[in-house]
Amino acid sequence: MSRIRTSTLVAAVIILAGAVTLAVAARMGSGGSAAAPRPSVSATTPHRVVLPGGPGDEAVVTDSDQVRAPDGSTYNAIDTAFVQMMIVHHQQAIEMAELAPGRAVNERLAGLAERIATAQPFEINFFRTWLKERRLPETDPQHDHGSMPGMQTDADLAALAAAKGAAFDTRFAAMMTDHHRGAQRMAGDVLKGGNDEKLREVANEMAVEQGSEISRLAQVTAG
């Protein structure tokens, strides 16, 4: 992915993706629908946090929006929440994509699902490394993963797994479009309020790439 895309491009992609989402979701008809849109996850206001020191070093107390990473970069609670929750968000996208073999009839859609299942583990590894380098946990028990934008319900996933052929293709396109749209909203949160410049760059690129996949989903299911 190019390293010179900007947040302005993300905004344009998100607006376009919203229109595509409505078009794809409408194709599902009354027989089923993707999960309803959920509110974007917001981080709490800055608070005092204790950072464990290295061997022989004392712990450091600082504000959650002014934490400094080992490489000298700064990050805040919005950055941390985004990374922790995006791991789970990506895992669900992979779960859906791995249902395509043996169910999808549209070869282009099956190829796109394979692309998603192959690419997103690399981003998950980046997020896990980001947390590990900062001695942060991979999960936060206070996070409600089901409320993340674009997350599909257990019933949605069961219906997708039970579908085959054209019914699977239509349902998959609508659900993945909704899921990607949610990821773009989460990326928008970190672009607006995050402190880690590298993470903002990754979030921007992720939003642009998922916008491109939303467009491809609409193309392969059109007509």
C-alpha torsion angle, residues 24, 189, 143, 45 (rounded to 10)? -150
Domain count, the chain: 1
pLDDT for the residue numbered 33: 40
Q: What is the mean pLDDT of residues 13-33?
A: 43
* Domain assignment of residue 67, yes or no: no
Average pLDDT taken over every residue of the chain: 79
* Domain assignment of residue 1, yes or no: no
Evaluate if residue 217 carries a pLDDT over 60: yes
Q: Write out pLDDT tens, residues 74-127.
A: 899 999 999 999 999 999 999 999 999 999 999 999 999 999 999 999 999 999
Evaluate if residue 201 carries a pLDDT over 60: yes
Angstrom CA distances, 170 to 101, 118, 130, 222, stand at 15, 21, 36, 10
Task: Say how far apart CA 214 and CA 176 lie, in whole Å.
Answer: 8
Q: What is the mean pLDDT of residues 180-201?
A: 95
Task: Say how far apart CA 219 and CA 211 lie, in whole Å.
Answer: 13
pLDDT band (50, 70, 90) for residue 34: very low
* Domain assignment of residue 48, yes or no: no
In 3D, which of 30, 27, 31 has the Cα closest to residue 169? 27
pLDDT band (50, 70, 90) for residue 1: very low
Q: Looking at this protein, which amino acid is placed at residue 217? A: L
* Domain assignment of residue 58, yes or no: no
Least confident of 130-134, 138-142, 152-156: 138-142
pTM of the model: 0.71
* Domain assignment of residue 207, yes or no: yes
Q: Looking at this protein, which amino acid is placed at residue 208? A: V
Paired residues of 50 in beta bridges: 61
* Domain assignment of residue 53, yes or no: no
In 3D, which of 57, 65, 37 has the Cα closest to residue 153? 37
Instruction: Say which CATH number the domain at 145 has.
Output: 1.20.1260.10
Paired residues of 60 in beta bridges: 51
Question: Do 124 and 91 form a contact (C-beta atoms < 8 A)?
Answer: yes
C-alpha torsion angle, residues 140, 131, 183, 85 (rounded to 10)? -10
- Using DSSP's 3-state secondary structure scheme, residue 65 falls into coil
* Domain assignment of residue 64, yes or no: no
Question: Do 186 and 214 form a contact (C-beta atoms < 8 A)?
Answer: no
List the domain range (segments joined by +) for residue 173: 7-42+75-221
pLDDT for the residue numbered 188: 96
Joined together, the tokens standing for residue 95 give: 């779960």
Q: Write out pLDDT tens, residues 125-138.
A: 999 999 999 999 99
Show the beta-strand stretches assigned E in the chain: 48-51, 60-63, 67-68, 74-75
* Domain assignment of residue 153, yes or no: yes
